[in-house]
Amino acid sequence: MTEVKAPRRRRATQTRSKATVQRILDAATDLIVERGAQGVTMSEIAKRADLVIGSLYQYFADRSAICRAILIRHQAEARTLLHHYVAGVQTLEALTEALSLSFDAYFELLQKDRLIIGLWAIVQTDPELQALDLEDSLQNARYLAGVAAPMLPGVDLNRLVATCVMLIQFSLYAGRLARDVPDPIAGEIPATYKAMFLDSLASLQRPRQT
């Protein structure tokens, strides 16, 4: 009987651990939204998650590790959104339309989700998170370049990836900018950004100017 029950206990422990991690991340997320990232302490996160501080440190070494986990979760959501719109497109026209729709969806997310802005402030002050953010952008850019390459025969792959990674990074910048500048300027940013990335894709079909 011992051999039969042991796996069940391990699964139960894994389930509880995942639930605890989720509770910690949710607690940290709420506090970041409420107070901003710099004002949140490990003690406050533990209290909000209904944990003793020692239990919190069993899962995360410090606040930076918690922020890393939150960033990875956000990156996964954004990657899923991109793949949802782009997967399966067959023509450059369809790709540009898919990218336009994906930006609209991401832009809406940026405007509604206060966590993303708070998280971005953390990323800018943490070299490890900056490296993680850059690697995620490069991963998405390589995926996007792989989708676009068959539609752009003869285009240098490095040039294509460089264009894609700039488009991905600038989508976040554009979303943040639209939150910071006053109306009616803010309302013009989405269309302006989309015009810029559509022109960037179109320019790949033209000879490079030296």
110-143 residue pLDDT tens: 777 777 777 777 788 889 999 999 999 999 999 9
Residue 76 is predicted with a pLDDT of 92
Whole-Å CA distances, 66 to 32, 71, 153: 11, 9, 43
Q: What is the pTM of this model?
A: 0.82
Whole-Å CA distances, 33 to 119, 125, 171: 9, 17, 21
Residue 1 is predicted with a pLDDT of 47
Q: Are 122 and 180 in contact (CB under 8 A)?
A: no
Residue 69 is predicted with a pLDDT of 92
Residue 10 is predicted with a pLDDT of 40
pLDDT under 50 in the chain at which residues?
1-12
86-108 residue pLDDT tens: 998 999 889 989 999 998 888 88
- Residue 177's CB is within 10 A of a number of other CB atoms, namely 15
Instruction: Give the amino acid at 47.
Output: K
Handedness of CA 79, 141, 33, 126 (dihedral sign): positive
Q: Are 166 and 101 in contact (CB under 8 A)?
A: no
The domains of the chain, with CATH numbers, are 1-60 (1.10.10.60), 70-210 (1.10.357)
Residue 172 is predicted with a pLDDT of 80
